[in-house]
Structure 1
Amino acid sequence: MHRRQSALAIALVGAAFATLLFQLFALPLLLLPHDVRWAWLLVPIALTTVPLWSLIHEGIHGTLVRERGWNDRLGRALAVGYGGPFTLLKAGHLLHHRFSRTQRERTEVYDPARSSWLAAARTYYPRLLGGLYAVELASVLLVLLPRPGWRLLVRKTDSLDSVTGLLFERVARRDNLRKFRLEALAVIVTYTGSSVAYGGHAWMLWSAVGARALIVSLADNAYHYRTRLERPLDAMNLALPRALEFFVLAFNLHNVHHRHPGLRWHELRAAFVADRDEIHLGWFAAVARQFRGPIPLTADEVRPLPAADTVPQWTAQLSGAPSTLP
């Protein structure tokens, strides 16, 4: 069983690397010089964004492959192709597990006593329409920021209404900062090299990156939009045909993942059945309804229930925050 699982993981990682290498270098160097119509292959390649992120997500949780050193190396290499430093992506995702639907991370929710719908929409819609990924990609520009600059960045962004300060604080830790700089440099070299390979067709590459930004940003909060606050263990399971569920590596079973974050992607369906969990909404409907925009903190549908979940011990340890469990 373990051997088959390892073979499947290696096959998926190999397919992801092959797709990235084809997009970044083989297509512009080998095919475009003969016929520019080969560029249409970038459209289906853009759709592989979700399984690519799912593999990186497995690496973040240490479930990509069983050997931890190789798990991190493969996750780091995939993240370079994705366009974001693995250290930053990992810190951000683990903070998401810790603070999801709390005051620090409630993407679409605003406090009408402090802000208006219009003010909230000014930041909400750009984030939804590609801004989330754009920030991840732009983070590579911090590669040359000296350590005192990181300390200043942490102080300037620290807020009870955001995880940004916590994210920068984790990245700025000595060993993490060294890894972040190497990863950011690798992203810069990779995408600069790819742009050179595309030459006058570089706009095609960056259009594909723009499509990735849109897909990533649209999908990110769809599993949490209009769900109850103060329940970090909760998310939505979104319906997909079984073939598409395999394609996205069961990322649609997001409530199962939040409650069992140590499970590998191919174990989530069995856990869904064992927990007698439910499908909350269709995947495409969940993505589309985000365009309704920001939601006031006072709305009944997001108001916390009396018996909200507490933070599990493992997330408190990962985030460095005290646990609420006895």
Structure 2
Amino acid sequence: MSALLIGCGAVALLLQLAVVPLWLLPAGSAWGWLLVPLALLSTPHWSLIHEAIHGTLLRDRRWNDRCGRPLAVGYGVPFALLKTGHLLHHRYSRTARERTEVYDPAATTWAATAPGYYVRLFGGLYLAEVATVVLAVAPRAFWQRLARRMESPDSVTGILLDRVGGRLLRQFRVDAAAVVAVHAASLLAYGRHAWMLGAAIAARAVMISVADNAYHYGTELDAPLEAMNLRLPRVLETFVLAFNLHAVHHRHPGLRWHHLRAAFRADGDRFHLGWFTAVARQVRGPVPDERSGTGPPHR
């Protein structure tokens, strides 16, 4: 099954980046509408990369990175950054270092926090990941200085830069060069239709960023295993590779996606919210740390 999914992901990338601009658009601009369903595949594509990150995409764990890297290049972000960042998420989720929507009302205000929060929510997260490719040309010493500068008890950025800029820097540079080369070549192939690829990437940025923290928004703090299972029709659950069973995944990060539903039943788990409800409620904005006595109760 995994080989089939990897093949489907590769075909979707090939269609978006090469087939549409080189063969279909010259036959008619209406073929550009094919980018709409291709853009909607961003979520299952991330789910494939997510499986590779956890070593559950293929039985041979060495091949998870080997497949994850080209999938991440097509996604637009070096695999080393995605893998390191996601594993840090599992370690620090809902702690002071990684609680996206929560702010300390003793140190700042909702109005001061909101602009950055909404930028991140509506595409900024993905675009920030993409922007890291510019660091590929930076010397190792610059990474180390930047990591020290960014180190903070309320962020994982310093740790992330330190780890990627260490033993993973060569891999990051190779993959960043591939990201730039592949997408630059694709933009050239689109020519006067380059705005179509730009729109597809913008749609990916919004979908990925909006969904990212929906599973954790308003959940218990200082509890790295805390996450929500979000209800989806079974066909959509399969489409996103059971990513909606997020609480199950945080408790059992080594399980393959198609085993999560069985674990959901075995654990006597429940759905906390509908997926669309959870995504929409993030528009409420930043949430004050209720432990200060000023914030509303979670969930």
The reply to whether TM is greater than 0.5 is yes
Instruction: State the Cα RMSD in Å.
Output: 0.9
Alignment partners' CA distance in 2, 1:81 and 1:259: 29
Alignment partners' CA distance in 2, 1:124 and 1:201: 32
Alignment partners' CA distance in 2, 1:135 and 1:15: 27
Alignment partners' CA distance in 2, 1:28 and 1:300: 50
Moved over 6 A (4+): none
Q: Which amino acid in 2 is paired with 1:301? A: P
Matched residue, 1:138: 131
Tell me the alpha carbon deviations over residues 76-134 of structure 1, each in whole angstroms, 9 at most, x when there is no partner.
Answer: 11000000000000000000000000000110000000000011101100000000000
User: Which of 68, 85, 100 is residue 75 of structure 1 equivalent to?
Assistant: 68
Tell me the alpha carbon deviations over residues 8-43 of structure 1, each in whole angstroms, 9 at most, x when there is no partner.
Answer: 100011000000000000000001011001001111
- After superposition, residues 38-77 of structure 1 pair within 5 angstroms as 38-77=31-70
Number of aligned positions between the proteins: 295
The answer to whether the aligner puts 1:208 opposite 2:204 as a matched pair is no
- After superposition, residues 112-261 of structure 1 pair within 5 angstroms as 112-174=105-167, 176-261=168-253
1:302 shift after superposition: 3.9
Runs of 5+ unmatched residues, structure 2: none
Alignment partners' CA distance in 1, 2:117 and 2:226: 22
Alignment partners' CA distance in 1, 2:20 and 2:141: 42
TM norm structure 2 = 0.97
1:70 shift after superposition: 1.5
1:68 shift after superposition: 2.0
Alignment partners' CA distance in 2, 1:151 and 1:244: 42
User: Which of 28, 43, 54 is residue 35 of structure 1 equivalent to?
Assistant: 28
Q: 2:121–2:206: 8 Å Cα contact kept in structure 1?
A: yes
Alignment partners' CA distance in 1, 2:38 and 2:165: 34
- After superposition, residues 282-301 of structure 1 pair within 5 angstroms as 282-298=274-290, 299-301=295-297
Tell me the alpha carbon deviations over residues 283-307 of structure 1, each in whole angstroms, 9 at most, x when there is no partner.
Answer: 000000000000100225249xxxx
Q: 1:229–1:302: 8 Å Cα contact kept in structure 2?
A: no
Q: 1:85–1:180: 8 Å Cα contact kept in structure 2?
A: yes
1:69 shift after superposition: 2.2
1:214 shift after superposition: 0.1
Q: 2:140–2:166: 8 Å Cα contact kept in structure 1?
A: no
User: Which of 263, 273, 276 is residue 268 of structure 2 equivalent to?
Assistant: 276
Runs of 5+ unmatched residues, structure 1: 1-7, 304-326
Q: 1:58–1:64: 8 Å Cα contact kept in structure 2?
A: yes
Q: 2:228–2:271: 8 Å Cα contact kept in structure 1?
A: yes
Q: Which amino acid in 1 is paired with 2:76? A: G
Q: 1:228–1:301: 8 Å Cα contact kept in structure 2?
A: no
TM norm structure 1 = 0.89
- After superposition, residues 294-313 of structure 1 pair within 5 angstroms as 294-298=286-290, 299-302=295-298
Q: In structure 2, the residue corresponding to 1:33 is in which secondary structure? A: helix
Q: 2:218–2:287: 8 Å Cα contact kept in structure 1?
A: yes
1:172 shift after superposition: 1.1
Q: 1:109–1:297: 8 Å Cα contact kept in structure 2?
A: yes
